[in-house]
Every structure is written in structure tokens, then in C-alpha cells.
Amino acid sequence: MTRGWMALALALAGTAGATALDFGVSYHGGPQGGGWARVGISDFPALGGRVSAGLSTRAATVGYARSLALPPLGVVTARADVAVAFAGGVQASARLGGSVGPVALNLAASGFSAPAARIDPLSLWTFDATESRERGFNAAVGARYRVNRNLIAVVGGEFGGQNMGTVGVEGRRELTRLLPPDEGAQPGDEPETETVGTLTWRAGVRAGQDVLGVTGGVSYAAESGLNLGLDALVGPKTFGITGSVDAGELLGPGSSVRLYAAYEPWRTASTPLRAGIAATRPLGSGEVGLNVSGGRTPDGQTGYGARLTYRLPLGEDSTP
């Protein structure tokens, strides 16, 4: 499981979108390095939801996502994915997210008889930690309670390769600046302001197998599209730090650039050291992307890889 699963309700592909063809070539170095290619389709409307499928020289994948409005639960989102490795083994996962009033609940489960690296070696170097065991089962549950507009209480647990639980709070504050007074402003008028960014902070505790410590983090999102994030975990025998920079449209309109790094030596079921850079920009009718990443596995092996992709939209669609 990755940390990003708690943002499931925002990330699921079951919402409206554009069907697209995806093409990619990848290479990974280190032990048993090599290259592979992939072609797929994403966000294809079918069976009341969205279907994604892909075929590479390493595996075949298929996914199904759907969002449903179920009063009084609000919008419930669900997704299931299956990947079959040609070298043997399967990975299957399911995710579910919904909310009731101020409470948002997310559930996730996965079972696998093939390691993630057999299907996609570059998955080990992503920002969110990816399970690296050969076979096993994982489950995760998380709840978020909105105390008020700017404060959220968070609780979660992960079970499988490294059992652990988290408890914490998140807060946000809009940053503003004063605007020059209008020509017609009168003495005593309230000064006008504009939002220049949002500051988000996080604090909590993480405890479980081989991990115990307090967590803290801060993020800054500017109106220009620049996003900065830094999180740390500190305990009696535990330390970890992660950071990311989203540079917005640095390469021109419609582009994106992201750098990230994570050092989490307390992780025993996933890669503790990860770093990478990912960039996309429009090209013709579609979008080209480049990802370069690498790191060090729990057994001390160093790896790296690169991926070049092209995404070609086939048209807008409003299927829920």
C-alpha cells in the first residue's frame, strides 16, 4: 500500500474524463536491468464506469472505476485493478472511498503472488512507497473528520507487510497580501486583499512494527502553481524525511515538472530510499512525459530507471 491511498476519493479515475491512448517505453538499470514497452487505453466508458487496460512486454493490466451518488453517503468511489505478469504471478487490488457528513472513509486491500517490480520495476522508486515483497496481502483503512473549515482529524492503519497505525491532525491557512487602495478609496475603508497561496500543516504519531515516532509536515501551494511539501518522522530509534516540489507550468502552458525524494530507513516492506523527477508537456494533439527515478532497496541494492510516454486523448466524455 502507498501513503497516497488516503487521497483515493480525489484520485480515482471513475470521474468524468477523456478517453486516451497511452504509449510508453521504459528502461531500468541495476541487477537484471533491461527495457520494455507498453500500450494501453485509459478512461474508456463502459459498464457504467471507466475502464483502463494495458499490455506491455512484462504484463497485462485491467482496471475498472466507478463513482455513485448514494444519499446520505454522498459520492462513493470504487476501483479494482488486476495485473498478470508474463513471468508468473498476479497482483489484484480494490479500493473504496465515501463520506457521511463530516467523516470521509477510505478502504483498500490487495493480494499478490508477483512482486511489483516484476510488472513495473520503476514502481519501486515512486514518491509513495510501494510494497516490494514477493507475495502477500495488504489492507488499509483511514478516516478523516472535518472539525471545522480549516482543521481535520486523521486516523489510519496499514496491515500486511509492516503493520502500523497513524493518528494526527491537519490544518490549513490562506495567505493573503494587501492590495494598493483604489483611486476612489475613502479613509476608514477596509483594505482589500488577495490570496497568494495556501499553507497546510500536519502533525501526528506513527506506531507499529519497527516504527515509533512523531510526524510533522508542511506544504505551500502558490497561486502560480508552485507546490512545496516537506514531512518528517522522528522517534527514539526512527527517522525519515520526504519532500517534493511541483514547479507548475515551468516548461510552458499545460506542462508540469515535479521533483521528489524520500529517505525512510524504517520501512521494511518497501524501498526506503527513493528519488525522481517527472515532467510533461503538450506535444501535437497529446502530451509527452519523461520520468527518471531511482533508489536503494531494503537489501541494499541500488536501482534506477527512465520512462518516456505519450498520451493521446480521443475525446471528452461525461460518463459518471
Per-domain boundaries in the chain: 18-179+192-313
DSSP string, 90-123: EEEEEEEEEEETTEEEEEEEEEESS-HHHH-GGG
The arithmetic mean of pLDDT across residues 309-318, rounded, is 79
Q: Mean pLDDT in the chain?
A: 88
Radius of gyration of the chain (CA): 21
| Phi-psi map region of 68: left, alpha, beta (phi>0 left; psi -120 to 50 alpha) | beta
State the DSSP code for 7.
G
Nearest alpha carbon to residue 254 among 226, 292, 283: 283
Into which CATH architecture does domain 18-179+192-313 fall?
Beta Barrel (2.40)
The predicted-structure confidence for 184-221, as pLDDT tens digits, reads as follows 666 666 677 778 899 999 999 999 999 999 999 999 99
Opening angle at CA 205, ends 200 and 209, nearest 5? 135
Are 298 and 271 within 8 A, CB to CB?
A: yes
Nearest alpha carbon to residue 138 among 166, 111, 165: 111
Predicted model pTM: 0.85
Percent of the chain residues past pLDDT 70, beyond the cut:
89
